[in-house]
Structure 1
Amino acid sequence: MNLEWQYSTPQAEGMDAEMLGDLDYFIKQKRYRLVNSVLVVKNGKIVFERYYNKYNENTRNHIKSIWKSILSLLMGICLDKGMIRSLDEPIGDYLPAFQRGVHPYHKAITIRHLLTMSSGIFWNGGVHYHCPMVEQMKRTRDWVAHVADVAMKDYPGSSYVYKEWDVLLLSAVIGNAFGNTSYELCEEFLYMPLGISSGRWAESPCGVSYTVMKGEEHSNLSARDLAKIGFLVLNNGIVDGQRIVSEHYIKEMLRPNDNNSSYGYLWWILENGYACRGFGGQEINILPKQNMITVIQATPTPSSKTYGDIHKEILEKSVV
């Protein structure tokens, strides 16, 4: 199965074509020179598509932390296929470094805690996408063991802290459960069924797939590829009649967690939908009531802007 897009006009799908036509002026007035792609899918059809800076429908852009949301979908696939029994399993069942008693809290960290950014492991993110803690880790051979040596700040599950540790460990758990890397699982069970083309994700010296760290841009996807991810979630895990992720997991994934009402399992919860976010202006927005997906891509820089007003002021308001 390979998802191929159909096309329609904004008017035919209940959207204001004139308002959408103002997008170029809006971007120019806001001086959003780094925006590369804006795409709208309504009722399963592409109704609006704009590219800038020599981008086109085949050009791939850095997805940054949208990768986190993709990892969440991979966890759902692992559960569906029985590779992982429960989100409440201790991560030490898959990561021996967390069974060694380095800290008494380690045995209490579960997969669910990684999905909700509540592992309790200390984190200092630095500024402008430069994190000394990550740079220190990257100088070691065994990244998972290094994270296991980082101090615990909170008891697992007690507080939300957005951090790279939890998704790196989640990628390691997925890879170990699958018996390969999380990239290989993604390629076989998510990207290939959706017809998504991606460069191979980077790997740590200890064999853990990762993509979101500075300088690691192998996870580039096109705007249409990101729309396919959104379409899968909007349709509760089914695309073209094929079940890719269970509806049960999708609903759990999009439920606000106890420590942050705006966050599910590595997905953001909006007032009227759900979203992925990546540093520098990468967005997938899913609006179930409007049966609509919007995608925004931009070139990230150390002091990058966000472009959520494109979605809120133009794309969302164009629904008649």
Structure 2
Amino acid sequence: MKKQPTILLSALLAASALAPAPAALAQQALPAPLQGAPASDVPVAVQNLRWMMLDGRVNSLMFRSMDTLFTTRSVPRSGAVWHLPKTEKAMDFTYSFAGKTYKAEEFLERSYTNALLVMKDGRIVSEIYRNASDERTRFMAWSMTKSITSVLVGAALAEGRIRSLDDPIERYLPELKDGGYAGVTIRQILQMRSGVDYEERYDFDKPGTAARNHIAALVKNVARFADAARTIGRVHKPGEVFQYKTIDTAVLGWLIERVSGTTVAAYTAQHLWEPLGAEADGFYIMDGPPGVGREFSGAGFNATLRDFARFGQMMLDGGVANGRRVVSEDWVKLSTAPAGAEDGKRGGYGFQWWTMPGGPAYSAIGLQGQYVFVDPSTRTVVVKLSYFPPEDQTVSEETAAFLAAASQWTPR
């Protein structure tokens, strides 16, 4: 990890060489959406790095350098490591996409892969690291974090910290009683059916609610991400319309913090990371400095490739990790079942998990190509950690084709 800042700087210098040269005295200037009040204590250079972290020229390194860009809170591992047996096999299968057939090995470069792991019935059959990453590298989960938050809600429910999923959220977070979340149940928030007015659109040149919240909380650290829920409006009746929005998961993280009386990171360590038998510490990025910031529970978790695989295998095994119960089997079934009708092409959505069309498979999916794919029908887990360019709209479709083929693959 100590070498990452140097590698990251080299990548950023290379990217800047491709861009028009700025005026001599404007190198530290912030983009227009970052200018103005409130003032931020985050150094201008760091704000600029956070601003460009999704850029396709540097995101391969940015997505595994989050601890150099943000304040973080550790999720320490402890106890015995869950040993994952391994029998390395060549990926001797093909997949079809857009009328063409490709070898599995071709997929790695075609789909901007940093790391890939395939497990069959609990055994690693393929583990690949690329672009100077290795088994110690901790990768940004982005919205795969939402599926982790789902497991934490399941744990809090089992402990009786949450009385019922059908309780209104203001029972636990009275700060939300006067806004769009009033009367919305925990179940509806888990299903992304809160009905609140928060369009998940990140047009930073013309920022809407989501983009402004991202800038304030994650780039400038002048607000807490979940606090936008206090005064948010409502556009749909709760429970009626599925509308993906990270603010819903941020509210769930706030709920975990409130009912547990501790931090999200500490609760994750106690109820997921330690019983999971993780081999490395994870961490969350924070939306502010120590004593002020909260974990970015909607998209901010970081971990190694193998530990993400352990998470997927635990779900495949009905909530059990290496013989130890992590979350109930009922929660696994409930959270990975579609809450409404599935789209024949895109699938559906459960409790912070995406369901795959035409079968029992489901996935945790994160921004720009992060996947924990689980298929109970073939006992397959695939973890893919990527650096999709923001403008490429087809690579996710090709990834779906690869995942389906990997699931049907029988290693020889």
TM-score (ref. length: structure 1): 0.85
Q: Given the alignment of the two structures, is residue 252 of structure 1 paired with residue 348 of structure 2, yes or no? A: no
Structure 2 residue corresponding to 1:77, chosen from 152, 155, 167: 155
Change (3 A) 1:80 1:2: farther
Indicate how the Cα distance of structure 1 residues 132 and 7 shifts in structure 2: closer, same or farther if over 3 A, else same.
closer
* Alignment partner, residue 6 of structure 1: 85
Residue of structure 2 equivalent to 1:118: 193
| Alpha-carbon offset, residue 302 of structure 1 | 3.9
Distance in 2 (CA, whole Å) between partners of 1:246 and 1:19 is 35
Q: 5+ residue gaps in structure 2?
A: 1-79, 95-101
For residue 224 of structure 1, what is the amino acid of its counterpart?
R
Q: 1:47-80: per-residue Cα shift (whole Å, max 9, x none)?
A: 1112211222222211100000000001111111
1:188-242 Cα deviation digits (max 9, x unpaired): 11012223334432344565321556xxx6x221211111111111011112221
Partner of residue 319, structure 1: 410
Secondary structure of 1:289's counterpart equals coil
Q: CA deviation at 1:143?
A: 4.9
- Which deviations, in whole Å up to 9, do the C-alpha atoms of 1:129-166 show, x marking residues without a partner? 87424236536546544322111111111111000110
Alpha-carbon deviation of 1:89? 1.2
Indicate which of 158, 161, 168 corresponds to 2:240: 158
AA matched with 2:154 = G
- Residue identity in the other structure for 1:265: F
Shift of 1:8: 2.4
Where does 1:11-50 land on structure 2 (aligned, <5 Å)? 18-19=92-93, 22-28=103-109, 30=110, 32=111, 34-50=112-128
Checking the alignment, whether the CA contact within 8 Å between 2:286 and 2:293 is kept in structure 1 is yes
Whole-angstrom distance in 2 between the partners of 1:319 and 1:113? 39
When residues 50 and 90 of structure 1 are mapped into structure 2, their CA distance, relative to the original with a 3 A threshold, is same
1:53 and 2:131 equivalent? Answer: yes
Structure 1 Cα separation of the partners of residues 298 and 329 of structure 2: 27
Aligned-partner Cα distance in 2 for 1:186–1:45: 25
Query: Structure 2: how far apart are the matches of 1:157 and 1:259?
Result: 13
Q: Secondary structure of 2:373's match?
A: strand
Alignment-derived partner of residue 13 in structure 2? none
SS in structure 1 at match of 2:201: coil
Residue 309 of structure 1 corresponds to 401
Alignment of 1:70-149 (within 5 A): 70-99=148-177, 102-103=178-179, 106-127=181-202, 131-135=210-214, 138=217, 141=223, 143-149=225-231
Structure 2 match to 1:185: 267
Does 1 or 2 have the higher relative contact order (CA < 8 Å, sep 6+)? 1
How far the C-alpha of 1:39 sits from its partner, in A, is 0.8
Q: How far apart in 1 are the matches of 2:151 and 2:157?
A: 10
Match of 1:13 in 2: none
Q: Do the aligned residues in 1 keep the contact of 2:202 with 2:211 (CA within 8 Å)?
A: no
Structure 2: which amino acid aligns with 1:120?
G
Greater mean deviation of Cα atoms: 196-205 or 275-284: 196-205
Q: Return the TM-score normalized by structure 2.
A: 0.67
Cα distance, 1:259 vs. partner?
6.4
Task: Select the structure of larger CA radius of gyration.
Answer: 2
State yes or no: 1:277 paired with 2:361: no
Q: Partners of 2:341 and 2:195 in 1: how far apart? A: 12
Structure 2 Cα separation of the partners of residues 18 and 76 of structure 1: 38
The answer to whether residue 385 in structure 2 is matched with residue 294 in structure 1 is: no
Secondary structure of the equivalent of 1:290?
Answer: coil
Pairwise mapping of residues 223-234 of structure 1 onto structure 2 (< 5 A)?
223-234=305-316
For structure 1, which segment, 291-300 or 169-178, has the greater mean C-alpha deviation from structure 2 after superposition? 291-300
Q: SS where residue 210 of structure 1 aligns?
A: coil
Native 8 Å contact 1:125 1:133 kept in 2: no
User: Counterparts of 1:180 and 1:259 in 2: how far apart (Å)?
Assistant: 37
CA displacement at 1:27 relative to structure 2: 3.3
- Secondary structure of the structure 2 residue equivalent to 1:126: coil
Verify the 8 A CA contact 2:93 2:104 in the aligned structure 1.
Answer: yes
Query: In structure 2, what is the Cα distance between the partners aligned to 1:296 and 1:142?
Result: 30
Post-superposition offset of 1:18: 2.5
Counterpart among 321, 326, 337 of residue 239 in structure 1 = 321
User: Would you say the 8 A contact 2:364–2:373 is kept in 1?
Assistant: yes
Pair 1:187–1:159, CA change in 2 (3 A): same
One-letter amino acid of the structure 2 residue matched with residue 92 of structure 1? E
Aligned length: 304
